[in-house]
Chains A and B, each alone.
Chain A
């Protein structure tokens, strides 16, 4: 802040520069958000809309569809985020260790993240087609399955398939962040560890991981926030089916609002989802602060 000292007298000018952006955020995000909260206090009854206070929220408590969606969302998010990390870590280590072709390989691994999610999902619907899909054909050829599976038609399989597609689409971003973090690990520490007789695994555990810890916390949190909000892939691949097996919360919100035309209850589920995200990100901020304090010592 010291260096901005000379411009103190112009403090109001700073706000003038920020104002246009603020107008957008207030008008297009915060005002509608407030409106959504109000909407969640009303319920549609035929052509009438009446005020029900927290009635929509109370109803959620014993609404099995809501609890199912919450469960599906948790399973989907935990599985996807964990697998993003599990896939991204070795890829990042590998790419980082290359002497040549690092940029090319990074770009190649990034492609699933670049493609429009809806279009990637459509391609996967075709790959997983029960009769003509190449996935069934390949898996049969290598003996992984004995007959064609209906990947998006059986509850457990469908959720698994959605997770798989999200792992394909989501691991590159985590890889990118880990790659950036690896650049900050001092070379000498690896050399020192090698001299002390540490193998590859030990170097990873005692040199790489401690350096990456902070970054991994950041990346995982951002990834959870993004994954919980996933709509496109599921909407295109299963629309939440079969029998609600893949109905993550965003899909439930969407169908409640725009297919059943029940805006009040839909907004209530949305506010609950936002609440969960807020709790999660508050934990994250607290974690970061304690981590930062630790680093300073």
Chain B
């Protein structure tokens, strides 16, 4: 009854939502459906919505003939690397922001907001020149450093919010017990803010996993392509084998969906808490 739009008797609302949900999910069904079709059926007209010939051949072929496994590995290394660094750095910074009075706190927060707003297509120009000079093109380092920096402002802000909800007395008690500042941080604050750390971790992992333009510019060697660049590159070919293409896309999407399935709660909590507090 709350919003008024969803009374059980309100048939129009239910039908409308049903249609919208179908449109929302249909592309995913079509990805899976196409990926399971044998080559001969992909270009059949009219298209088949359900087939008794479903097979995993396209998956086998795309893994055998393309470097999808390698792309997967690259994406994993970059995303995990960025996640670990971002969680560590933002936790330290958030602790500093939430536990100490700082004269420069306001400018610092403005700086965080400002960096959130920069267009990636502008930043990639000087970043590319810089990485070329440092001979870091085609390295994980170049991408990890970039993604960590993009993730830091939001992560720090979100974690600072979590830390503020932990009473200061807990730190003080730990310090009275003979812990130093760092130890109090490690022993008391971090375990208590595990949901926040998880949220920041998923946020960074997905940011890195989904990123495109930086990798597009900073990797030229196919061995170093992450999934986004590697799969997008398959589009440029003379004839696209859509069942193999969709098989690759499904494989690349699986980890993301699995992560969300388990951890959506944390991420939604983190994001919406930030947004509502404003």
Q: Which of A13, A107, A253 contacts B121 (CB 8 A)?
A: A253
* A219 CA to B272 CA, complexed, in Å: 11
* A228 CA to B120 CA, complexed, in Å: 11
Report, nearest first, the 4 A-B pairs whose CB atoms are least far apart.
A14-B100, A17-B96, A97-B6, A270-B122
Q: Which of B4, B264, B275 contacts A203 (CB 8 A)?
A: B4
Tell which of A24, A105, A203, A249 has the most Cβ of chain B within 10 Å: A24
Interface SS of chain A: helix, strand, loop or mixed?
helix
User: Residue A83 at the B interface, CB < 8 A?
Assistant: no
* A185 CA to B212 CA, complexed, in Å: 39
B235 and A132: CB pair below 8 A? no
* A215 CA to B156 CA, complexed, in Å: 22
Closest to A200 in B: B4
Tally inter-chain residue pairs, CB-CB below 8 A.
Answer: 306
Give 29 pairs: A residue, B residue, CB < 8 Å, sorted on A.
Answer: A3-B168, A7-B101, A13-B100, A13-B181, A15-B104, A17-B92, A21-B89, A29-B123, A35-B126, A35-B129, A36-B123, A93-B6, A105-B21, A115-B28, A115-B253, A116-B210, A126-B246, A131-B43, A137-B45, A168-B24, A168-B27, A190-B4, A200-B4, A225-B117, A231-B212, A250-B120, A253-B119, A270-B121, A277-B119
- Chain B residues at the A interface, C-beta cutoff of 8 Å: 1-7, 13, 16-17, 20-21, 23-25, 27-28, 30-31, 34, 42-47, 89-90, 92-93, 95-97, 99-104, 108, 111-113, 115, 117-130, 145-146, 148-149, 152-153, 156, 168, 172, 181, 206, 209-210, 212-213, 216-217, 227-228, 231-232, 235, 242, 245-246, 249, 252-253, 256-257, 260-261, 264, 268, 271-272, 275-276, 278
Q: What is the distance, in angstroms, from B273's C-beta to the closest C-beta of chain A?
A: 8
Q: What is the distance, in angstroms, from B272's C-beta to the closest C-beta of chain A?
A: 4
Please judge, given known A-B contacts A116-B256, A215-B275, whether A25 and B149 are in contact too, CB under 8 Å: yes
Interface residues in A229-267 by Cβ distance below 8 A to B read 229, 231-232, 235-236, 249-251, 253-254, 257-258, 263, 266-267
B271 and A118: CB pair below 8 A? no
Q: What is the distance, in angstroms, from B20's C-beta to the closest C-beta of chain A?
A: 7
A118 and B232: CB pair below 8 A? yes
* A126 CA to B4 CA, complexed, in Å: 38
Flag A99-140 by CB within 8 Å of B: 1 or 0 each: 000000111111110111111101111110101101001000
* A125 CA to B249 CA, complexed, in Å: 13
A112 and B24: CB pair below 8 A? yes
User: Residue A90 at the B interface, CB < 8 A?
Assistant: yes
Q: Which of B5, B119, B246, B260 contacts A110 (CB 8 A)?
A: B260
* A119 CA to B152 CA, complexed, in Å: 25
* A21 CA to B87 CA, complexed, in Å: 11
Chain A: interface residue total (CB-CB under 8 A): 110
Closest to A1 in B: B101
Q: What is the distance, in angstroms, from B124's C-beta to the closest C-beta of chain A?
A: 8
A200 and B34: CB pair below 8 A? no
* A173 CA to B232 CA, complexed, in Å: 24
* A254 CA to B228 CA, complexed, in Å: 17
Contacts of A266 in B (CB 8 A): 125
B130 and A32: CB pair below 8 A? yes
Q: Which of A7, A14, A115, A203 contacts B256 (CB 8 A)?
A: A115
A114 and B260: CB pair below 8 A? yes
Contacts of B28 in A (CB 8 A): 111, 115, 123
* A248 CA to B272 CA, complexed, in Å: 29
Contacts of A46 in B (CB 8 A): none
* A161 CA to B261 CA, complexed, in Å: 29
Closest to B100 in A: A14
Q: What is the distance, in angstroms, from B6's C-beta to the closest C-beta of chain A?
A: 3
* A36 CA to B102 CA, complexed, in Å: 31
